[in-house]
């Protein structure tokens, strides 16, 4: 009978911890990465502001089954696209704010899973531009959403960094060819 009581006790402790820990986890998660690039702010800004350019550097374009549909606006406020794929699921992205060469804000809609705010800052620094990419996920529901928020941060940071490094590999040669 003792092994059964011990097993039940362990299960109860696990359940209590599973429910208690998310109570202390934040309902909002902000994930930020940055990368400096030897380029004028216009070059990385255009990579983000023109959504079709995302195909060249975005870490979220690796689903070969994804069908991407762009709307009629090519860049800036109102530009957007939707996607549907086995790996990526279904969703849409739209630029909701665009301040030339300084700041871009996006809204990513995952349907019933919620929305994510994306923001991009382009800060000149000597002969470079430091690009800061942030994703903000609000209203994480207790308990599962909060656990997800804890896990997603660790998974997203390297993906975002990889995207920024790819963008750097695109804009730095553009900068050099423009200087000649």
Q: What is the pLDDT of residues 34-49, one digit of tens each?
A: 999 999 999 999 999 9
**Model pTM score:** 0.84
* Count of domains forming the chain: 1
Domain extent, residue 154, equals 27-179
Q: Is residue 19 part of a domain?
A: no
Helix axes of 144-179 and 42-49: crossing angle, nearest 10 degrees? 130
Q: Is residue 3 part of a domain?
A: no
Q: Is residue 139 part of a domain?
A: yes
Q: Is residue 8 part of a domain?
A: no
Q: Is residue 87 part of a domain?
A: yes
Q: What is the pLDDT of residues 108-119, one digit of tens each?
A: 998 888 899 999
Q: Is the dihedral of CA 123, 124, 126, 128 positive or negative?
A: positive
pLDDT at 148: 79
Q: Is residue 64 part of a domain?
A: yes
């Amino acid at each position: 009978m003792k092994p059964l009581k011990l097993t039940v006790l362990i299960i109860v402790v696990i359940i209590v911890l599973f429910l208690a820990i998310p109570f202390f986890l934040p309902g909002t998660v902000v994930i930020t990465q940055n990368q400096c690039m030897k380029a004028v702010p216009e070059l990385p800004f255009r990579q983000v502001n023109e959504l079709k350019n995302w195909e060249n550097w975005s870490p979220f374009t690796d689903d070969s089954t994804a069908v991407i549909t762009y709307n009629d606006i090519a860049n800036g406020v109102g530009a957007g696209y939707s996607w549907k794929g086995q790996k990526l699921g279904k969703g849409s992205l739209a630029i909701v704010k665009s301040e030339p060469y300084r700041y871009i804000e996006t809204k990513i809609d995952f349907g019933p899973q919620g929305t994510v705010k994306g923001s991009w800052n382009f800060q000149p620094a000597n002969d470079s531009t430091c690009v800061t990419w942030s994703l903000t996920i609000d209203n994480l529901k207790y308990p599962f959403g909060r656990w997800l928020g804890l896990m997603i941060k660790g998974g997203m940071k390297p993906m975002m960094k990889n995207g920024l490094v790819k963008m750097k590999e695109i804009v730095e040669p553009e900068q050099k060819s423009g200087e000649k």
